[in-house]
Amino acid sequence: MSIPIPGKPVRGSKSGVPIMAIFDLLGRTWAMGVIWQLQNGPYTFRELQERCESISPSILNSRIKELKEAGIVERTLDGYQLTERGNELTKLLLTFGEWSKIWAKEVFSFTEYD
* Ranges 9-13, 34-38, 61-65, 73-77: which has the least confidence: 9-13
* Ranges 2-6, 16-20, 110-114: which has the least confidence: 110-114
Q: Residue 90: how many CA atoms within 13 Å on its side-chain side?
A: 18
Domain assignment present for residue 10? The answer is no
Domain region containing 74: 18-108
CATH number, domain of 31, equals 1.10.10.10
pTM of the model: 0.89
Q: Give the residue-averaged pLDDT of 81-105.
A: 94
**pLDDT above 70 (res 57):** yes
Domain assignment present for residue 114? The answer is no
Three state DSSP letters for the chain? CCCCCCCCCECCECCCCHHHHHHHHHCCCCHHHHHHHHCCCCECHHHHHHHCCCCCHHHHHHHHHHHHHCCCEEEECCEEEECHHHHHHHHHHHHHHHHHHHHHHHHHCCCCCC
- Please say whether the beta carbons of 32 and 67 come within 8 A: no
